[in-house]
Structure 1
């Protein structure tokens, strides 16, 4: 299964925000885009959706920025990924060009179960679980306390 670029950028943005010290550190879409090697426009769209879902909060203005919410810290990666990916199946059997094998095929069911297994594995982790000191070091934030990360 391959995640969309939108979901990838949303998860990267959450990882970047997870290493921030909160409201006292100003993190912008521009900074995140630069640090995750992505378009500012694409990151802005992902951050907007994350804010709509309640995983991040943003403050406008000169001293504004983007912050991870309590929900963003505690919600599982599976739930976040499901929310960003939407309710789509791995393959499309119907639609404008329906598959002629749909009536006699078990592939759709097998792929659906595999997708749920994928999400179930992601449900074992939060964004904090996948961020460690190496992530902090890559983002040039040496002031973050090492004890804050469990995956060292």
Structure 2
């Protein structure tokens, strides 16, 4: 299974925010540059992460981004499920529809594999993702001058 670029960008942003000092507020532009993603993509990811209650985004002077306690405690599986587009792994109902769809066992096997993938990510928290050696690397990412 392959995650969308949107989910990858969102997870990178969450990881960088997870290692920020409690009083450190980073702007979307700074975080985008740090994790090497286009600003427009980061802005969309931050908006979605904010909707999910994982990131607090404050506007204006003195504003910035912070990971919420919910975001810090969230499992990677929970985050990925929330960001990925729900649906089948394969397009059984595409146009034209698969002629095997009425008696197919592949779709069920792929759904089970997808759930096993998410279940394995449920055991990983955002906080555990940024433990050493990852945390120090995230903190060393250069910010734009």
CA distance in 2, matches of 1:86, 1:71: 22
Q: 1:140 to 1:76 in 2, by over 3 A?
A: closer
Q: Which runs of 5+ in 2 are unaligned?
A: 141-145
Which deviates more from structure 2 when the two are superposed, residues 48-57 or residues 96-105? 96-105
1:15-55 CA-to-partner distances (Å, cap 9, x unmatched) read 00000012x11211111111111111001101100000100
1:79-136 CA-to-partner distances (Å, cap 9, x unmatched) read 1100000322211211332111212321100100000000000000111111123333
Pairing 1:44–2:43 present: yes
Pairing 1:82–2:85 present: no
8 Å CA contact retained: 2:20, 2:139? no
How many residues align? The count is 141
CA deviation after TM superposition for structure 1 residue 57, in Å: 0.5
Higher normalized contact order (CA 8 Å, seq sep 6+, divided by chain length): 2
Q: How does 1:1-152 map to 2 (within 5 A)?
A: 1-22=1-22, 24-141=23-140
CA distance in 1, matches of 2:11, 2:60: 25
* Secondary structure in 1 matching 2:57: strand
Q: With structure 1 as the length reference, what TM-score do the two structures score?
A: 0.87
Q: Which runs of 5+ in 1 are unaligned?
A: 142-152
Indicate the RMSD between aligned Cα atoms, in angstroms: 1.6
1:49-92 CA-to-partner distances (Å, cap 9, x unmatched) read 00001001011112111010111011211111000003222112
Deviating runs (4+, > 4 A) in structure 1?
Answer: none
